[in-house]
């Protein structure tokens, strides 16, 4: 049985628990002015879902171990909010979720993350993504994400290596 499935509307609390617990790894890595407590409040999760982020979850023995979203934005699909429950990280959960979303994407796939989150960048690189040069990354961040300039200055973009390049 496939452990990956769409997240249900009644799983908001479980999704938030995973995101906020796993996001602790970013505390002290991302700029202090971009960190807030909780990292993702319930209102923000609802706004993200309303904006088209579709979450998939990795379930084992009835428990969600990880979540990852995909959001269609114009001519690309964005990987959004990729988090695995602490204690279950580095066990293949994130890679399985990413593979699932990549395989079902019909358009070029991009992901943005914090520039100082070396482990996140390495994860995406191990899973078929390549770093976009910074000048092009800033243009992509402005075009496809709705984030403040400060976050653009401290973020990177990776694209799925086997897809046509975006924003050329």
13, pLDDT greater than 50:
yes
Domain boundaries, given as residue ranges, for the chain: 4-160
Q: Which two structure tokens, joined as six digits, stand for 124?
A: 């995406």
- Long-range Cβ contact pairs of 42-49 (< 8 A, separation 24 or more): 42/12, 42/16, 45/12, 45/15, 45/16, 45/19, 46/12, 48/80, 48/81
Instruction: For 47-104, write each residue's pLDDT tens digit.
Output: 999 999 999 999 999 999 999 999 999 999 999 999 999 999 999 999 999 999 999 9
Tell me which CATH homologous superfamily contains domain 4-160: Gcn5-related N-acetyltransferase (GNAT) (3.40.630.30)
């Amino acid at each position: 049985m496939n452990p990956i499935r769409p997240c249900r509307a009644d799983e908001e609390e479980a999704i938030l628990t995973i995101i906020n617990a796993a996001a602790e790894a970013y505390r002290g890595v991302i700029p202090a002015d971009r960190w807030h407590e909780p990292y993702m409040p319930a209102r923000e999760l609802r706004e993200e879902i309303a904006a088209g982020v579709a979450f998939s979850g990795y379930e084992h023995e009835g428990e969600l171990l990880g979540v990852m979203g995909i959001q269609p934005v114009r001519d690309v699909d964005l990987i959004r909010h990729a988090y695995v429950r602490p204690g279950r990280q580095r066990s293949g959960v994130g890679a399985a979720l990413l593979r699932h979303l990549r395989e079902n994407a019909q358009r070029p796939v991009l992901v943005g993350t914090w520039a100082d989150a070396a482990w996140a960048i390495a994860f995406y690189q191990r899973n078929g993504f390549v770093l976009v040069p910074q000048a092009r990354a800033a243009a992509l961040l402005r075009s496809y994400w709705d984030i403040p300039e400060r976050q653009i200055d401290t973020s990177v973009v990776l694209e799925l290596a086997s897809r046509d390049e975006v924003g050329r």
